Chains A and B, each alone.
Chain A
Amino acid sequence: MTPSTIQCAPGQGQGAPAQGPGAPEQGPGRSSSRTWLLLVVILASGLALLPLLTLVKDVLINRGESRLELGFDDLRQVRGTLLLVAGEGLLGAVVGTAIGWLTAVCRFPGRRWLRIAQLVPMAFPAYLLAASLIDWGSYRGLRIHGLGWAIVLLTLANYSYVFLLSTESFSVSGRRLLEASRSLGVGPWRSFFRVALPIALPSIGAGIALSAMEVVNDLGAVRLLGVPSLSAGILDRWQVDGDPQGAALLSLVALAIVAVLIASERQLRQRSRRWNLEGGTGSAHVWHLAGWRAALAQLFCVLPPLIAVAIPALWIQQGWQGLQSESFAELGQLASRSLGLALIATAVTCLGSLLLAICRRWSPQPLVQQLSFIAGLGYAIPGSVLALGLIMLGGPLGFSPVLLLLWGYGDRFIAVSKQALDAALERIPPSIDETATSLGCDWLAVLRRIHLPLLRGPLLVGSLLVFVDVVKELPITLALRPFDFDTLAVRVFQYASDERVGAAMAPAVMIMAFGLLAALALVPTLEQRD
């Protein structure tokens, strides 16, 4: 082999990946371009960790009089968050996976529309659903309060993560296996539990982990519904009690919960690793539903999006008389800021996550794996805590607030697109990379010619999730935006927390409109899988 070609170790077969999700090569002959990849990982994880480290440093230096134990209130908050995560995780997994399966593999009237409809709830932030439902209910003497409602509303706002990732997996992977199991006379239920579900587990796990992290971070909805939660506890300890150490302690508990979530999701993936590359092109064998079965499927698929739309719609219908709008110019400004921030943040975040995911695939060293894991941890840090770390970091250095804002978004949401990419990359057998490398392709060429075309769907899904997340994002934006730089979400939150429903309505509708537009952009990807 000449020095200009890349050395490979083609002897490794598909069945024997030594370690790491994709371990195409472990030999000493690494090309210098891979050093670049390593640098990227170090840079990304450094950027992700820096705000947190600044915070820890500050807490350690400025010790105050703080209780470093968990009091009664704290334990109630931990319990509240655990119950929320468990409840939402369970309900979201059932709803998301069931709808993902029904719309990917079964056929019934209206299926295509219902599939598209599942993207609608993504457009509605949980705090908006909670605020509008509480307001609407209290007009009718209906008290919306407590854990049960919180689980339902958070599921409604977040089950789309599970749906998107699972339906992707159901339509792409394991078709041939399904076909085989079907030709052996296995019915749809058993095929689902014995074949499709195990194959889709990594994706479902990723979806649940994402939605659970949203739940850990949710602040607005749980506050309005009166559920004690870690996110609120952290903020209160920090800002109201003036006890940063106590807040850091609670943040650590939150981090621990999320770390367990991520670890169990990875464990799940390890156990169920199957590589599969049939693509969506194979002849699709599907189950045709008719009669009551079709009706049941329709009902199941229509309810979540219908409820998600109905809540704000009823609220608007009830309150439109009181609508007080800012001038159109003001609304336009708010919207363009939201849009601009979201677009830039999405581009930065998705590029970063793509590089991280690719890097993780190419470098099986534990260090890279761990660094890439760390880079995604920003999702676990409550937005407000992350923001404070960034202020401490950027303030003295004179960073522009908008830059800090984008840094915060990237830190927070890189996990969203990375999860989608990691799960998708794991379905591409490493043998492909091996073949390509043995033919002299370097990672860039493999990325361009093999990975990117295969990742187009997950990449789009990931970027739209990030986009919608940034448009809805509240705590970081609230804490880091510069003077005269409100966004739609900020305005909604301010008006809603002043209990001025009429004033909150116009910007709220615009947030939902952006979310819907982004969701609609996903339709072609979904359609392609058919």
Chain B
Amino acid sequence: MAQNRPQEVNVYSGRHYNTDKQLYSEFTRRTGIKVNLLEGKDDELIQRLKSEGNNSKADLLVLVDAARIYRAQEANLFRSIRSAELNKDVPANLRDPKGQWFALTRRARPVMVNPAIVKPGLIRSYSDLSRPELKGKLCLRNRASVYNQSLTADELVRRGKPATRQWLQGMLANTKRPFFTSDTPMLRDVGQGECGAAVANQYYLARMLQDKNSTERSTAAKLKVVWPNPTHVNISAGGVTRSSRNPEGAQRLLEFLVSPQSGEGYAAANNEYPLKGWGNNPTLKAFGTFKASPVSMEQLGRRNREAVQLMTQAGWE
């Protein structure tokens, strides 16, 4: 290991935010450890790390969504680390029991409605999305969306297979076709009255509300966030790679990123929630608070395949 040369940490990251880079620079300024970054799509990074095997230069793998993190863990890409600091800053259900990965930020997947079309009071939980009153008014992203997969896995863990199957059938019968391939155009359709309700991560709406374009802002302003009880929560997370040549450096970076101070910055970049509490983002504060689903990230990952199967069977394209 390079003791005398300046230390470096190589990061593979599925997040692409300029503010992330500012945080990495801040880390370098404080510790003298240089951060090299390779951003990519999560699945592609996992695959790349797998193929590179022990020759990989990556020290830290940052991924978005529980299912992908689980997939990386299954592929044996992480190493277990022990850190009192990480255990203190990251709540137990948001980290791996064996210390292979730790959540960095939280994102929630509420229902967003156009009150002119769908009464917000109609929806108290995700199961209400299968109510007949919503027929033809619900819009959803396609099955390929990993966030929808994790949402289904969440239901699967909490309510079991038969109930989930029934829920999917009812909800998909309400859904307008074709399914959307991205969230923002879907939310615009809700704002414009093409749809009455949609399920989307909170940051998409937050981003639209902060847009410089006034049309975008006024479309977004027509939407109301409805928090189902409990609300499905997902994470972005990081773990030290098995092949890492500088695991100490990678661990220090991880500890820096989850510390309450920088964690807020990491979350704020993408209008996400910090690991604890609600943060200070005014746009998010206006959405109100929610009761997070008790399902652990590990369970979400473990049940992903089963969830996708159910979705396919129910006709979620």
CA distance A500 to B52 in the complex (A): 30
Q: Which residues of B contact A498 (CB under 8 A)?
A: 16
Q: Determine if A398 is an interface residue (Cβ-Cβ < 8 Å).
A: yes
Q: Which residues of A contact B183 (CB under 8 A)?
A: 499
Q: Determine if B10 is an interface residue (Cβ-Cβ < 8 Å).
A: yes
Pairwise interchain contact A391-B213, C-beta atoms closer than 8 A: no
The stretch from B35-43, B80-88, B117-125, B286-294 touching chain A is B35-43
What's the minimum C-beta distance from B147 to chain A, rounded to whole angstroms? 12
The stretch from B104-112, B151-159, B204-212, B222-230 touching chain A is B204-212
Q: Determine if B168 is an interface residue (Cβ-Cβ < 8 Å).
A: no
Interface hits, A227-247 → B, CB 8 Å: 235-236, 238-240, 242
Most buried by A among B47, B71, B194, B213: B47
Q: Determine if A179 is an interface residue (Cβ-Cβ < 8 Å).
A: no
Pairwise interchain contact B189-A499, C-beta atoms closer than 8 A: no
The stretch from B174-182, B258-266, B273-281, B295-303 touching chain A is B174-182
Q: Mark A467-503, 1 if CB is under 8 A from B, else 0.
A: 0000000000011011111100000001101111110
Pairwise interchain contact A322-B213, C-beta atoms closer than 8 A: yes
What's the minimum C-beta distance from B305 to chain A, rounded to whole angstroms? 8
Q: Which residues of B contact A74 (CB under 8 A)?
A: none
Q: Determine if B4 is an interface residue (Cβ-Cβ < 8 Å).
A: no
Contact of B211 among A223, A242, A322 (CB under 8 A): A322
**Chain A residue nearest in CB terms to B193:** A141
Pairwise interchain contact B189-A388, C-beta atoms closer than 8 A: no
Q: Which residues of A contact B184 (CB under 8 A)?
A: 135, 138, 499, 501
Pairwise interchain contact B51-A240, C-beta atoms closer than 8 A: no
Pairwise interchain contact A239-B36, C-beta atoms closer than 8 A: no
Q: Determine if B31 is an interface residue (Cβ-Cβ < 8 Å).
A: no
What's the minimum C-beta distance from A424 to chain B, rounded to whole angstroms? 38
Pairwise interchain contact B10-A395, C-beta atoms closer than 8 A: no
Most buried by A among B179, B216, B312: B216
Pairwise interchain contact A479-B37, C-beta atoms closer than 8 A: no
Contact of B41 among A137, A398, A497 (CB under 8 A): A497
Q: Which residues of A contact B192 (CB under 8 A)?
A: 141
Pairwise interchain contact A391-B212, C-beta atoms closer than 8 A: no
Pairwise interchain contact A224-B182, C-beta atoms closer than 8 A: yes
The size bracket of the interface on A is 35 or more
Pairwise interchain contact A238-B47, C-beta atoms closer than 8 A: yes
Interface hits, A132-159 → B, CB 8 Å: 134-135, 137-139, 141, 143, 145-146
Q: Which residues of A contact B194 (CB under 8 A)?
A: 141, 143
**Number of B residues whose C-beta is below 8 Å from A?**
45
Pairwise interchain contact A138-B185, C-beta atoms closer than 8 A: yes
Pairwise interchain contact A478-B181, C-beta atoms closer than 8 A: no
Contact of B212 among A141, A395, A502 (CB under 8 A): A502
Pairwise interchain contact A239-B44, C-beta atoms closer than 8 A: yes
Q: Mark A434-452, 1 if CB is under 8 A from B, else 0.
A: 0000000000000000000
Q: Determine if B92 is an interface residue (Cβ-Cβ < 8 Å).
A: no
**Chain B residue nearest in CB terms to A58:** B51
Q: A484-B37, A499-B184 are in contact. Are A145 and B178 (CB under 8 A)?
A: yes
Q: A239-B43, A499-B183 are in contact. Are A138 and B52 (CB under 8 A)?
A: no
Interface hits, A320-335 → B, CB 8 Å: 321-322, 326
Q: Determine if A530 is an interface residue (Cβ-Cβ < 8 Å).
A: no
**Chain B residue nearest in CB terms to A131:** B182
Pairwise interchain contact A494-B39, C-beta atoms closer than 8 A: yes
**Chain A residue nearest in CB terms to B12:** A483
Most buried by B among A226, A321, A388, A392: A226
Q: Which residues of B contact A141 (CB under 8 A)?
A: 188-189, 192, 194
Q: Determine if B235 is an interface residue (Cβ-Cβ < 8 Å).
A: no
Q: Determine if A31 is an interface residue (Cβ-Cβ < 8 Å).
A: no
Q: A225-B181, A226-B179, A319-B213 are in contact. Are A242 and B75 (CB under 8 A)?
A: yes
Q: Mark B240-251, 1 if CB is under 8 A from A, else 0.
A: 000000000000
Pairwise interchain contact B40-A239, C-beta atoms closer than 8 A: no
Q: Which residues of B contact A483 (CB under 8 A)?
A: 10, 36-38, 57
Q: Determine if B215 is an interface residue (Cβ-Cβ < 8 Å).
A: yes
What's the minimum C-beta distance from B192 to chain A, rounded to whole angstroms? 5
Q: A135-B185, A224-B181, A498-B16 are in contact. Are A396 and B55 (CB under 8 A)?
A: yes
Q: Determine if A73 is an interface residue (Cβ-Cβ < 8 Å).
A: yes
**Chain B residue nearest in CB terms to A384:** B44
Q: Determine if A318 is an interface residue (Cβ-Cβ < 8 Å).
A: yes
Q: Determine if B142 is an interface residue (Cβ-Cβ < 8 Å).
A: yes
Q: Determine if B116 is an interface residue (Cβ-Cβ < 8 Å).
A: no
CA distance A134 to B16 in the complex (A): 22
CA distance A83 to B81 in the complex (A): 51
What's the minimum C-beta distance from B98 to chain A, rounded to whole angstroms? 20
Pairwise interchain contact B16-A322, C-beta atoms closer than 8 A: no
CA distance A322 to B208 in the complex (A): 10
Query: What are 12 contact pairs spanning A and B, CB under 8 A?
Result: A224-B181, A226-B317, A235-B43, A238-B47, A242-B71, A322-B212, A391-B51, A484-B37, A499-B182, A499-B207, A500-B207, A502-B212
B residues adjacent to A (C-beta < 8 A):
10, 16, 18, 36-41, 43-44, 46-48, 51-53, 55, 57, 71, 74-75, 142, 144, 178-185, 188-189, 192, 194, 204, 207, 211-213, 215-216, 312, 317
